[in-house]
Amino acid sequence: MKLNELLKFNDIVIQCHDNPDADALASGYALYWYLKKMGKKPYFMYRGINKIQKSNLMIMLSALEVPVNYEPDYDKEPELLVTVDCQYGQKNVTMTKAKNVAVIDHHQLTVDVPKLSEVRSNIGSCSTILWDMIRDEGLYFHDERLLSTALYYGLYTDTNRLSEVSHPLDRDMLDSLVINKSIVTNMSNSNISLDELKITGKAILEYDYYDDNKYLIIQAEQCDPNILGVISDFSMETTGVDVCLAFYVSPAEIKYSVRSCVKEVHANELAEFLSVGIGGGGGHIYKAGGSIRPEKLNASDNGANKDIKQFFKERMDAYYEKYQIIYAKDTVLEKTGLKKYEKRKQELGYLKLSDVFPINTIVEIRTLEGDVNVRVEDDKYLMVGIEGEVYPITKEKLERSYKETGMAYQRNFEYEPSIKDMFSGEKKTVMPYARGVISTGTSYIYAKPLERYVKLFTAWDDEKYYSGKPGDYIAVREDDEHDIYIIKERLFNQLYNEV
């Protein structure tokens, strides 16, 4: 859906979910701003039995001039109703009759949504979706500091103080917004009430610790999601605790926070695993979180009529049992079962990092798979794959394995990788610097399909692992027994031919 599709309507009402949080208020505020810019006269409201009372949200409404109205008894039937940060028909949004309905949301689909819908379940906040949709209409927020601050705070709160940000689009929004930091500080320091302080203490006292894999599970009473981050962050200070999962259960969702302090467990991967098929999760390597829809959990074979804490324990144990861990620099793959392959004549891209930023610059490479920080060196090159994946290569291996096409490398990706100077903040997209290369046919690998899930620490990065699942391929270069890597199943036949 494009936002300009809404402009054919005149009587437009924007509604966020009952008991709105900062993300719902910010995303509704952004849509209101866009429609006003386009000459419309929208009305922004929330319903339900409770009026906003949380201190941080009261500050947000006042300091950021959020134009929302509380309408518990709204009885009009607008020409168009747009629900933001929720889906029309869900239990957490009071039903409002309307001639037409549109939905903009970032949660998992739990109801049938109308044709006019934009639901992106892999994005950290609905604020990010509105920011991106408004950008697509050619409008920007450079002079809208209050709205920009609201959007920032929407993502900030929905991702547990940004610790659960996983999609590069969320990070792009953070980079672009000019915000009022003092207001954000004021709101974030008014986030915990005395009652929530009691919830925190009580939850921590009732922890469950599992020594076999050194993890905690902590159940809290229903609270602001940020409280889960407070609980799990504090608990991670404990000796002998490698991973912590804190959660609460509400009628609308089961919210959880994940923390890890060991490189063998990526919090974002664990958060995603916990909710696969019944919700969504993500974040950073060490801090992440997610949510589960109760109706989806109750409908699942392993969730129906089960104690939630027991459900989480079973999923945690399944996660630990699932993976084989491989450290490439200490491993030589047995050749038994491996077949020999050569690179297909597939055009890929490469670039020299020092062509983008000067040598010794610390840069952040942003891709759909995550951010990587490196120092620019004369011999440091990047390969760009057919899906926008980026991985390092030395000059010697590049020249031995590929020949240049003499042309720029051109492809369209879901998300185009970029490189940012960490000191100046200057950001450049990768593709203008990428040149095309084709395999020389002299580069060989040995590979076989994985039979189980694997975490692979590569020889060039022993702090961050790459995950492989059954059907993906584990491969090793013929000329370097420790250059072991994972190739996704969907890509393997596009990239390699059996010799």
pLDDT in tens, 224-280: 777 888 899 899 999 999 999 999 998 878 999 999 999 899 888 898 899 888 888
Closest to 224 in 3D by CA, of 13, 21, 471, 444? 21
- Residue 491 gets the label, from left (phi > 0), alpha (psi -120 to 50) or beta, of alpha
Q: Specify the domain boundaries for CATH 3.90.1640.10 within the chain.
A: 3-188
Predicted pLDDT at 423: 80
Predicted pLDDT at 155: 95
3-188 homologous superfamily: inorganic pyrophosphatase (n-terminal core) (3.90.1640.10)
Instruction: Report the run of H or E that residue 32 belongs to, with start and end.
Output: helix 22-37
Predicted pLDDT at 320: 92
Residue pointed to by tokens 């840069």: 363
Residues of the chain with pLDDT under 70: 191, 283, 299-306, 369-370, 441-442
Does residue 339 sit in helix, strand or coil? strand
Predicted pLDDT at 9: 97
Alpha helices in 357-472 (DSSP H): 395-401
Closest to 325 in 3D by CA, of 119, 475, 465? 465
Closest to 225 in 3D by CA, of 142, 126, 159? 159
Predicted pLDDT at 165: 80
φ/ψ (deg, to 5) at 179: -120, 165
Closest to 149 in 3D by CA, of 104, 188, 189? 188
Buried-exposed string 317-331: b where 16+ CB fall within 10 A, e elsewhere: eebbeebeebbbeee
CATH architecture assignment, domain 194-323: Roll (3.10)
Predicted pLDDT at 272: 86
Overall pTM > 0.75 = no
Taking a C-beta distance cutoff of 8 angstroms, is the pair 294, 266 a contact? Answer: no
Q: Specify the domain boundaries for CATH 3.10.310.30 within the chain.
A: 194-323
Dig out the tokens for 489 from the structure. Answer: 């199943």
Closest to 272 in 3D by CA, of 286, 260, 289? 289
Single-letter code of the amino acid located at 296: K
Predicted pLDDT at 415: 82
Residue pointed to by tokens 């009529």: 305
